[in-house]
Amino acid sequence: MVIFQKSFIILWLVLLAGCASTNSTKPESTNTKSPPAKQSKESSNKGGYYLDDGPGDNTSIDIASIPDAEPRTEKPLVSSNKPYQALGQKYVPMKTYAPYSKQGVASWYGKRYHGRKTSSGEVYDMYGMSAAHTTLPIPSYVKVVNPTNGRAVVVRVNDRGPFKHDRLIDLSYAAAYKLGLVAQGSGLVEVTAIDTSPEALSIAAKTNVAAVEPSSTSTAQTTELISSSNTNNTLISQSAPSKAISPSGYYVQAGAFKSEANGELLQKKIMDLDLAGDAAVTNVYNNGLHRVKLGPFSSKREADIHANKVRSQLNISAIVTNQ
């Protein structure tokens, strides 16, 4: 009986030990989490919305020659200047011009938004000199300066953004390129609002005329000297301007088509939108193509201004030529 009790106790202890062993041993988890991937330093610091947001290497546009936006009096858009909310933040846009000067970080946006509508209803052109701001009136004009290299541009505000707390302004690709911000993606800038009231623009125009008046006077004196010295060829050659002026002037080529009808269609569209100003709009046949041209213009800057108008209004490429 004693032997039986001992055997029973031993058997009970063995079973108890086995149960304890089973409960304390856990299989190794197969759901091992991998460490979170590190965010690319490049992507975290980029001002462009995407790493490949630029035009790439295929663009034929000379971006450096794109002229700045030309300030003019425009009526603020009621629908674009109403209070709104974005990413949980409320914004109350300015409805009219008020002195504004601020320093902050600028970013840029390019081809991913190229051709899409902005807050103003206009089509975004990455090659236009435009910008987005959270509260400045739409439309309005600002001067943007890169204090690092001293470069400055004038852009037209026609969109809303950026909505990141550390960003002050979103620039078009062209504006960012001219400021030297494309490669690094973003950078510190100084933004100053421009008064575009008729009175302010009139004063600015008079100031600009006064700035160039000496050279104009000099040219007039040279012309008078040449006119009064027709018999003295030596004097004429010394007094004439050293820089030759192309007799043909500068032209803007807006398109080239095999079909004359397509050329005429673009020609009519440009004339209807008054994109050429006082210059002519022609559809010239040359080397197998019907070329739609605006001009001539007396200076390359004037041609650049009209080329930029064609790009922004028609969303097409336009090139400046001197023939």
Distance CA 71, CA 204 (A): 10
Q: Which helix (H) or strand (E) holds 109?
A: strand 101-109
134 Cβ contact partners less than 8 Å away, ≥ 6 residues apart: 86, 91, 93, 160, 161, 162, 163
- Model confidence at 198: pLDDT above 80: yes
Residue 315, exposed/middle/buried by CB under 10 A (0-12, 13-18, 19+)?
middle
Where in the sequence of the chain do the CATH 3.30.70.1070 domains occur?
Answer: 250-321
Q: Which pLDDT value is given to residue 42?
A: 35
Distance CA 199, CA 201 (A): 6
Fold for the domain defined by 250-321: Alpha-Beta Plaits (3.30.70)
For residue 296, cis peptide bond before it (omega within 30 degrees of 0): yes
pLDDT averaged over every residue in the chain? 76
Where in the sequence of the chain do the CATH 2.40.40.10 domains occur?
Answer: 45-198
Name the DSSP class of 117.
B
What's the one-letter identity of residue 275? L
Fold for the domain defined by 45-198: Barwin-like endoglucanases (2.40.40)
Q: Which pLDDT value is given to residue 8?
A: 56
Between residues 317 and 53, the one the model is more confident about: 317
Asked if 148 and 187 touch (Cβ cutoff 8 Å), the reply is: yes
- Model confidence at 187: pLDDT above 60: yes
Whole-model pTM above 0.75? no
Predicted confidence (pLDDT) per residue in 126-172, tens digit: 999 999 999 999 999 999 999 999 999 999 999 999 998 889 999 99
DSSP result, 175-215: HHHHHT-TTTS-EEEEEEEE--SHHHHHHHHHHHHHHHHHH
